[in-house]
Every structure is written in structure tokens, then in C-alpha cells.
Amino acid sequence: MTILAEILAGLGLLFVGLKLLSSHLQQATGRGVRRLLRGATRSPLTGLLSGSLAGAATQSSNAVAVICGNLVRGGVLSVRDAIPVVAGGNVGTAALVFVAAVDFRLVILYLLALVGFGIQLRLDRRPAWREWMGVGLGLALALLGLDFIKQGPRAIDPAVLASLFDGGLTPLLGFAAGLAAAALSQSSSTPTILVLALLQSAVMGLDDAFFVVLGANLGSGLATLVAAGGLKGTGRQLCYVHILVKGVGCTLVFAVWLAAGWMGADPARELAGLGGGQAALSLSLLFLALQLAGAVPVAFGRSLTEAIALRLSPPTLEDGASQPRYIHDRAVDAPATALDLSDKEIRRLVQLLPTLLPDLDVTEGAGASERLALWRGAAAIARTTEGFLTELIGRAPERESLDIALEQQGWLEMICLLQDTLHDFAEVVESYDVPPQLAFNLSESLRVIVLSLADAESADDYDVIAALTADRSELLNRIRRSLVGSSIGSGEDARRLLLATSLFERAMWLIRRTAVALRPAANGDKPEDQETSVERNDVHAH
């Protein structure tokens, strides 16, 4: 029981450590990793190398794939560009297996000491220091977990374990065990490290270990697809790239293993020879060979890889809707141009707002699923634009450009709130088989106002919208009181109508704030005069 507890504790520390390491390292070097991946499009080789560096830094091929997926959805990379990077991310994870093959107890002690003293000296109050201290703690915990895993099996009697399998693992059983372990841990390196510990304790031989690691490698690729869940389109394409890397690697390495046997050689002995008689090094080289054997053909044959991924997961409506039209990463080098582009992207988001509402007068309009995809796409563009502005601000532009960028961030925040409010309102209205008259009227009124906002160009247009969306709380409160006092439908119907009324009121307020923010200065108006002009129009409207 002590051995089992030690191994399980080691796995727990390894999982926690890798999670901390990956999350804090992405926060500390997030922009650097993204710049590295964005610059990896010159050739498959640079993409492969950049992905390997990113995979070694994050120790997660999934993290590299997620970053690439965001860059693809944001229009920064194409799927073709991302393929070598994702393939390289798998190669980078081999670093952990090589680390597990050496003795690092002294490193663990010093790392824990550094992190502990740093916290005691309150260095973690600085954001940059906090992230790097998190990286150190995560690395220390991961290494400590690896040490526990390595030490646990040393107390196992090899004869006892061998007797459980009638003298050893069959290739099929070993392959299935590795496949299952990788599917459960969502990782190929974790089962490989367990096998490495068994090798160092003489519990398992290289011939058995080969098939376990082979199964673990393929299992981690299949686990990626399972973890993707309902992901479709471009996002799922990169999952298939993962599977291709793992599948091709397993096929080629297994073919070499079989060929060596057919030629009269002992594959296990040849593998041991590559490691200089050190079983841990031999296994580390095997793991690296599996990653390289899959990554290199997939990266350099990216045209075929892209065709296969495209065939298995065609682009969706959301993929097309999530592509920015104006902004691109290279534009941040010229702040004035960058701000013009982000302004156009933000105004395009406003023009897309009507697509988030149903047109109840048209029976053959876009369905709820299409509107959901359009909402997700618009939200993705908003996130990309926010990241664009954040990076621009991080480059410390001149005061005038900085003020404009901060103002645009405020616009973007309001538009995101408006996107979500319109989406929630549409869901309430579409929850009815036949919307009651009040829900119909609210929906059509809101749609007209949103269309007016999307078409607005001049200061007068925005003034009219602001006047139309002025405070209507008294009217809406009367509607709520009448609903409470009426016996319209079921209690659920009344609840939904009350919710629709509240969302309508919130949407009107956000539309007004957006109109005031986006209103261009006219006739020599100063920016601070815009609100006053809107208020005057409100008075005339009343």
C-alpha cells in the first residue's frame, strides 16, 4: 500500500506541478510565445522548431495547439501555417521524459527554497515576479512528483509482478495498457515516465516497455479528439493534426521495430545499445523518436495534412464569422494605422449586431443555431481586437495614441456587453413556439433600433438613436406590473416575459451608451459636448 500511495502521490504532484508550470509560464511568456509562433510561418522547418520550443516551454502540446487555434481563428495564422507548429509542440514535450531520466533531488530542494524565500520576502507582490515564482513552484512540484514515481517501484519484487502476467506482458496487452493510461491522463509523457520508473527498478524490460509507450503515444492523440468534445471546424482540424502526428509516428517506429526483427536483429537489444546500456536513456530516445517520426512527415507534408484535416472537419459558419477583417498583428508597429484598423473593426462589430436578433416577420430567416454561431464569431473578433489593443498599449505609444486606444477599449467593452444582452434576449424570445404579442413587439422594436445603430454614420444619426433609447423605465415598470397582475399563460410564460422586458431595457441603455460613445464630433463640437447634445435631444423628444 505504501508503494501505491507513493506512486499516486507522485502522479498527483506531477499533474499539479505541470498545471502550475503551464499556466504561469503562459502568463509570463504569453506574448513571447505568440510572437514566436506568429514568426514561424516562413517554412515548415521554422514552424517545427518554434513549436518544439513552445512545447518544451509549456510542457503541453495541447497548450501549443490552443494558442495556434486562437491565432488561426483570429486570422493571424492559416491552418497550413499552424500544422508544423502543432507537430513541433509534440516534439517539445519529450524534454520532460529526458528530465525524468536524471537525478534532480538537489534541484528540487533549491527550487523550493528559492520560491519559499521569495514568498517570505513578498516578491510575489510584483506581477512579473509572481508568475515566475509560480513557474518555479510548478517545476519543483513536477520534479518532486517524478522523484516519487521513480522511487515507488524500487520496492517491488520483479518476480512477483512478472508472475501476474505469466512471465511478462504480451505486446497487445502492453499496447492496450499504454493506450488506456494515456487516455486517462490525457498525456503520453505521463505513462512513459511511469514505465521509465519500472525500467529503472528492473520490473519491466525494454521489449515490454516499447509496446506500452507505443500505445501511450497513440492514446494521447485519440484523447485529444475526445477532449475536443463538440468542437467543430478549424478547431477540430488541429486535433486531427495531433492524431496524425501520433499515428504516423507509431506506424513508422513500429515498422522499424518489425523490420529489425525480420532482419535477424533483436530490436530491444538495439534500442538498449542506442542508450549506451542505460534503460532510462533508451526509453527517452524512443519517446523522442516517436514524436519526430510523426512530426517531420506531417510538418513537411503539410499540404496533404491540411487536405486530410479539411476533409475530416470542414470549416463552419462560426469559423468564417470569427475572422477579423481589418486588424493584423504586424499593424501594431505603426500605432496610428493600427488605431484606424481597430476603429474599423469595432464599427464592423456594431454592423454585425442585427444578425444576433431574430426577424420574427420572416419565417425563413437564420435559425437559432446560425445566430449562436454568429454570436460566438462576433465574440471571437471582439476578443482578438481586445488583444490587439492590449498589445498596442503594451508598446507604450505616444500619449494621443494611448488615449485613443483606451477609448476604443471602452467602446469594445460596451459592444461585448451589448452582444451578450442581445444574444440572451434572442434566446428568451426563441424559447416560445409562438411568441406572445408583447415579446414580438419588444423584439421587433429592438431590432429596428439595432439596425439604426448599425447604419448610423453622421452625428445626427447617433443623436436620434440616443433620443429614441432615452430612459423608458417608467413605461417598462408599468408593463412589469401588468404582467404580475395578469393571468397570461403559465407562471413560466410570465417569468420569461419579465426577463425579456429586463433584457430589452438593458439593451436600450447599452445602445444609447454606444451611440453616445461612437458619435462623431459635428460642427466643431468638442468631445465633452457630445453628451450635452444628446441630452438636449432627449428633452426635445420628451
Q: Is the sign of the CA dihedral 182, 185, 189, 190 positive or negative?
A: negative
Whose cell is 434576449? That residue is 425
Instruction: Name the most confidently modeled range: 34-43, 111-120, 225-234, 258-267.
Output: 258-267
| Residue 12 burial (CB count, 10 A) | 13
Q: Which is higher by pLDDT, 148 or 37? A: 148
User: Residue 540: what pLDDT?
Assistant: 41
Q: Could you give the 3-state DSSP secondary structure of residue 205? A: coil
Domain with CATH 1.20.58 in the chain: 323-541
- CB burial class (10 A; 0-12, 13-18, 19+) of residue 361? exposed
Statement: residue 249 has pLDDT above 50: yes
- Asked whether residue 31 carries a pLDDT value surpassing 80, the answer given is no
The predicted pLDDT at position 23 comes to: 64
Q: How far apart are the first and last CA of the chain?
A: 79
**CA angle 160–165–171, rounded 5-degree value:** 135
pLDDT tens digit sequence for 126-169:
766 777 777 777 777 777 776 666 565 555 555 554 554 445 56
| DSSP annotation string for 385-452 | HHHHHHHHHHT---HHHHHHHHHHHHHHHHHHHHHHHHHHHHHHHHTSSS--HHHHHHHHHHHHHHHH
Q: Which residue has the cell 477583417?
A: 325
222-258 b/e with 16+ CB inside 10 Å = b? bbbeeebeebbbbbbbbbbbbbbbbbbbbebbbeebe
Cα–Cα distance measured from residue 322 to residue 372, given in angstroms and rounded to the nearest whole number: 12
For the residues 443-462, what does the mean pLDDT come to?
90
Confidence band for 453, pLDDT divided at 50, 70 and 90: very high
Amino acid identity for residue 527 in this structure: P
Of the chain, the percentage scoring pLDDT greater than 90 comes to 16
Mean pLDDT to the nearest integer, 45-66 = 76
Contacts of 482 (CB under 8 A, 6+ apart): none
Look at the block and give the residue holding cell 498596442: 392
**Type of residue found at 466:** A
Range scoring the smallest mean pLDDT among 340-344, 370-374, 413-417, 507-511? 370-374
pLDDT at 7: 65
Highest-confidence range of 70-84, 92-106, 175-189, 374-388, by mean pLDDT? Answer: 374-388
Q: Residue 187 in contact with residue 220, Cβ under 8 Å? A: yes
Give the global pTM. Answer: 0.64
Report the CATH fold assignment for 323-541.
Methane Monooxygenase Hydroxylase; Chain G, domain 1 (1.20.58)
What's the mean pLDDT in 485-490? 52
